[in-house]
Amino acid sequence: MGAAAFRPRRADGTALLADCPGHAGAGGERAVMAAEVVAQACADVGWIYRRIPPLDDILAANLKWLAGYRHPRNASRPGLTAAVVEAFTRPRPLLEGTEAVGDPIEVLPCVFHALWHGRLTAGLDTPLHERVLVGPQGWSGPGKRGGAG
């Protein structure tokens, strides 16, 4: 993953400049000095500056995988998303819940789409695999980390 910067508006109207390096040592000493200059420039114009630590490799890989399923086409045929959400009203292994709905070739993209959009949740600190526990929106099971977006 490469570096990125975002400037969202906060609820109170203030701006936040978020510096998101691709890895912990990104840029070395020059980056540290640049961050100090940018932080001061942000303060001068009333913005908040934060250098956000990079995601760990497994979480980043899982989010990248799920992001590939964010497009609405992955929700598939009408009614499939509702069936997928229903299949995971109680936490269960990914493949078990998927097969309860139908053919995994058709259903898995919908499951990943629902995970990306927060309709379902799973622990993303370990690689996604067929036995990872998937649960309903708001479930906070073992290894579960915040939703993807």
Asked whether residue 45 falls in the same domain as residue 77, the answer is no
Last residue of a domain, one of 13, 30, 51: 51
Asked whether residue 127 falls in the same domain as residue 82, the answer is yes
Asked whether residue 100 falls in the same domain as residue 125, the answer is yes
Selection from 103, 127, 116 nearest residue 75 by Cα: 116
Confidence of residue 84 (pLDDT cuts 50, 70, 90): very high
Extract the tokens encoding 48: 């908040």
- Choose the most confident range, by mean pLDDT, from 9-18, 41-50, 113-122: 113-122
Residues 6 or more apart in contact with residue 80 via CB below 8 angstroms? 101, 106, 107, 110
Asked whether residue 129 falls in the same domain as residue 111, the answer is yes
Confidence of residue 1 (pLDDT cuts 50, 70, 90): very low
pLDDT at res. 6:
57
Higher per-residue pLDDT: 40 or 147:
40
pLDDT at res. 43:
93
- The domain in which residue 96 lies consists of 57-136
User: pLDDT tens across 86-126, in order?
Assistant: 999 999 999 999 999 999 999 999 999 999 999 999 999 99
pLDDT at res. 146:
44
pLDDT at res. 145:
46
Residues 6 or more apart in contact with residue 38 via CB below 8 angstroms? 17, 19, 49
Asked whether residue 75 falls in the same domain as residue 128, the answer is yes
Asked whether residue 47 falls in the same domain as residue 62, the answer is no
CA gap 106, 133 in Å, rounded: 20
pLDDT at res. 115:
97
Q: How many domains does the chain have?
A: 2
Q: Is residue 88 part of a domain?
A: yes
Asked whether residue 30 falls in the same domain as residue 62, the answer is no
pLDDT at res. 78:
92
Asked whether residue 62 falls in the same domain as residue 132, the answer is yes
Last residue of a domain, one of 36, 51, 66: 51
Asked whether residue 31 falls in the same domain as residue 10, the answer is yes
Asked whether residue 47 falls in the same domain as residue 61, the answer is no
Asked whether residue 113 falls in the same domain as residue 61, the answer is yes
Asked whether residue 45 falls in the same domain as residue 80, the answer is no
Higher per-residue pLDDT: 109 or 139:
109
